[in-house]
Structure 1
Amino acid sequence: MAGELIRSIGYNSFSYADISKKLDIKNAAIHYYFPSKSNLGVEVIKENLLAFNELIAKWKKEDYKKQFANYIHMHDSFISKSWVCVVGALAPSYDTLPDNMQKELEKLVNTILEWLTDLLEKGRETNVFSFTETSRTKAFMIHSALLSSLQMNKVLKNDVYKSIQEGLLNI
């Protein structure tokens, strides 16, 4: 539930009352497991890191092009819900996040970028991908484009996300 609220309205915009209302439980029940909102935020980030690691472990059997396409389409289901990804939801308010959340968010972003950089490098070495930038720079560009396309799609409610995906798949 907290992850959904972060993706839809942002971390700073929801409260325990929002969660308890949606789940029809008392605030105290949430506080029991998550004494502070930042504990809850850290758990959401950790869940996303675990989910990403599980996805890339599954994708490992695929060729580089298919792994890349899987990554590019990872958030397709978010469009109909007008969600952004957790990184896209939390990064704009990074400076207002508690230290424990900042550290976990950095781990998540670094994990994604390290995997993507490695995939791009291996793909370029085997002539699956062709680009002139360093693999790290290309990873920054791709990840940033996806993040912003989800945000722009939320605002414009059009096909920005799909257009960006199509462009990215042509590397």
Structure 2
Amino acid sequence: MNATREEIIRIADELIRSKGYHAFSYADISKVLGVKNAAIHYYFPSKSDLGVAVIDNTAEKFQQTIRSWEQLPYETQFQHFVTMHQKTKKNEWVCLMGALSPTYDTLSENMQLQLKELADNIIIWLTGLLENGRAKGIFHFTEEAKAKAYCIQSSLLASLLLNKVLKNDVYQVIQNTILTV
């Protein structure tokens, strides 16, 4: 992939997580890169195209990450998943899902489709991990694995949002609570 294109995606990702999708413009990216807006439009004719690229990039990184965990014990994979947003929290950002979900209805159809696919893939993976771990006697919960996955994912997402507002340790408290599965 082209280094300039990658850098545009990286900056857009940070802006979405810190300010929100509708709160940044190509001018914000141009200023950081020291280029004209036209240079951004060359790679991403519309902001929606850039949004899709950011979501795709996040989805790809998630797939790479979970592939790197495949040989680890279920409880280690789970711990890695629950703690994977440490940098996000440290920067006082929110995760991409947390940044885009509140404005879902205002996003372009192609962004909505990509965001839904990302959410589905996270829930499918987490559900499988929970089911397999419970079958091996590692995890102990009574509800359906998919319901547990929804609760875990939504708690993590909400903890980053609430942590951004309260600027306290709510994220850590939620993490510790989830890790007692």
TM-score using structure 2 length: 0.94
Letter in 2 for 1:29: A
Tell me the CA shift for residue 80 of structure 1.
1.9
Measured against aligned partners, the alpha-carbon deviations of 1:97-135 in whole angstroms (never above 9, x if no partner) come to: 000000000010000000000000000001100001100
Give the match for residue 121 of structure 1.
131
Give the match for residue 140 of structure 2.
130
Letter in 2 for 1:20: S
Q: SS of 1:158's equivalent?
A: coil
Letter in 1 for 2:128: D
Letter in 2 for 1:72: V
- CA distance in 1 between partners of 2:89 and 2:97 (Å): 16
1:75 aligns with 2:80: no
Letter in 2 for 1:165: Q
| Runs of 5+ unmatched residues, structure 1 | none
Measured against aligned partners, the alpha-carbon deviations of 1:17-67 in whole angstroms (never above 9, x if no partner) come to: 011011111100000000000000000000000000000000101000000
Number of residue pairs matched by the alignment: 171
The runs of at least 4 aligned residues of structure 1 exceeding 2 Å deviation read none
1:39 aligns with 2:68: no
Q: SS of 2:56's equivalent?
A: helix
Give the match for residue 37 of structure 2.
27
| Runs of 5+ unmatched residues, structure 2 | 1-10
Q: 8, 21, 32: which is aligned to 2:18?
A: 8
Identity %: 54
- CA distance in 1 between partners of 2:156 and 2:88 (Å): 12
Which is further off, 76-85 or 38-47? 76-85
- CA distance in 2 between partners of 1:106 and 1:83 (Å): 21
- CA distance in 2 between partners of 1:24 and 1:9 (Å): 20
TM-score using structure 1 length: 0.99
Q: SS of 1:82's equivalent?
A: coil
- CA distance in 2 between partners of 1:18 and 1:34 (Å): 14
1:64 aligns with 2:74: yes
Q: 159, 162, 167: which is aligned to 1:152?
A: 162
Letter in 2 for 1:162: Q
- CA distance in 2 between partners of 1:20 and 1:121 (Å): 46
- CA distance in 2 between partners of 1:96 and 1:67 (Å): 34
Give the match for residue 121 of structure 2.
111
